[in-house]
Structure 1
Amino acid sequence: MSTEMLLAVNCGSSSIKFKLYSLSNLDVLISGTASNVEVKGANPSIKYTVYEQGKDDDEKVSEEEKKGMPYEDVFERVIALVEGSSSKHFAQAIGSKSKPRVRDLVKVVAHRVVHGGTAAEPMAIWPGHEEGLEQMDALSAFAPLHNHFAVQVVRFCLKHIPNGRQILLFDTMFHSTIPPQVYTYPLEQSSEKTPIPLRKYGAHGLSYASILDSVASYLNKPKEQCTLVIAHLGSGASVCLVKEGKSWDTSMGLTPLDGLPGGTRTGSVDPVLVFHHAPDASEGVEIPGGHCARAEIVLNKQGGLQALAGTSNFGEITSTIEENAGGKNETSGAQLAQRDSLQT
């Protein structure tokens, strides 16, 4: 059995999701999530499952880390925990009796990157060929909850997983087919120099591409014959019109902030609202990888379900509603959050 592996990574501002595959047959070997990464006052936790193919006794592992552990250190810990797994299932799955160094066996690292600007194809990065990374980091202001953290992990992998080629897959790629009459904003071109043209780019494209493949297969149709409306609903939420197998329009815009409300994002609101809500909204603030206006922090991190219900966890919101069933408070935060999500 081949020992070559593929590692898939999805980095957010406070979480790192990862899956380790056998490269020969794409069997999942390990799957997990690091949560509460660089969340003030919280301990990062890493939970993952080591799979034994065809068995029901998969090994589940959970570990809590020290408060204040930097993002890169958490990812280093993820790799160390995977490598240090004592599961015999893992050793058998890769055809080795000894504990392997996963970083030596990984030949491909696939990174989900939210904003790729105008790029319509994946980007390959390897030692000595890293020119595109600076460009990706420059786009961090357009996806402040994701891009910079993904770039951090790419840099780590270049250094510590040197045998693996880094493949950057952009959510925005899927939406590169949106026509000009849809992606163009009714606003004069900015006189300021910007890293990318100011237009609609969309997000969640990798999710939409996967769903399109699944639906086309289920319907036994070529993708070019599929016209669909697809909703991606989670902490980040959006909807996409797929016309004849290609993205035609989507609710997210220049950044993932536009469109539906999310866990902490406001979604579409009157653009002037934030300047009345926060008088210092136009002031610049530092963010990982760059800087932005305070307004972007308010709209990205202080809105959505979190603002209405005090939590971005929809399970907690529905539990609160069920516990208060029969009460007369129809405008509680939980009720408003649920209705806001269901009506958008």
Structure 2
Amino acid sequence: MDTLTQYGFTDRIRDLFISAFPPSTTPSHPEPARAVRTDRGRVLLATANGQLQVDGDGTVVTGDWVALAHKDDGAAPPAVVGVLPRYSTLQRKRAHDPLSEAQILGANIDLVGVVVPMDRPLSANRLERTLVAAWDSGAVPVVILTKADLSSRFDDVVAQTVERSRGVEVFTTSAEAGDGLDALHSRIGAGTTLALIGPSGAGKSTLTNALVGSPVQDTGQVRAGDGKGRHTTTARELIPLGSGSVIMDTPGLRGFALWDAEGGLEAVFGDIEELFLSCRFNDCAHDAEPGCAVRDALDHGFLEERRWLSYRKMQRELASLHRRQSAAEQHRHARSFHRLARDAAMSKDYRNRFREG
């Protein structure tokens, strides 16, 4: 198996590449490659003949399928000349970013593994938030419980996770004992890319090593007091598992600010949004209005208060994001208009001076 196939190259990707870069219309004869890792303006690529590093311009992210071209004379190093359209994009809003830009965590992912460690209390809000982003990426989310051997409330944690995941597949694993690894490995399958996301110390790197069968990733100790670990993974990187399946280990995420995730919000909280259709008034605010189906479900225990508040928080977060995006777009248009008006005024002044002269 060549290097490119090890990193998930399939007939489907080959067809997409040929469609985007027909050999008859591209004199530079590009070849397919995949971004294994991006770091400080350099991109590590997997090609059919091995790995190589090229300069990057910031547009290529880990997981991208790219077109790599060699100069005819062979003197200059190869360069990325195009990026295939992404069929999935895992992203979040950059933390503390007033301009509301997206941070792309990975591209062309088939499965998003939401890693939930069992050595600490389950954070239902964090699980739901991450599932929203995972669904919105275009990939299929799965929940991976790690450190099952360290849980003192195994059955309760598993039951709570299954309930909060609402139909998403849940895998229970112990990298130390080897439990659950075969089932997860089978789920990944040939030509599939699985991205692991979760907090630091959740066991992502340990799980990666167990799936690969060798210590390819550094691992660290977790503090006993709060269950937090240090960031042993410092960059997003693709790691082949064999048979063309790939895993993407990622640095621990302290938070997950959503980015344009209405589709994911509907996927996770679709039962709540269905209640809106049963409210007496179309503009119901779901607070104290008569005939509110949401309040009725809350009062009768059919809807959990915590879950409703979690949904409202993410809904407000996305609304605030769109307001900032709209304001930024209006500001850009205003600046562009003022620049055109200034240039027109300067041009008119120049013409007047030319006539006077």
Instruction: Provide the TM-score with structure 2 as the length reference.
Output: 0.28
Instruction: Provide the TM-score with structure 1 as the length reference.
Output: 0.28
Q: Which has more radius of gyration? A: 2
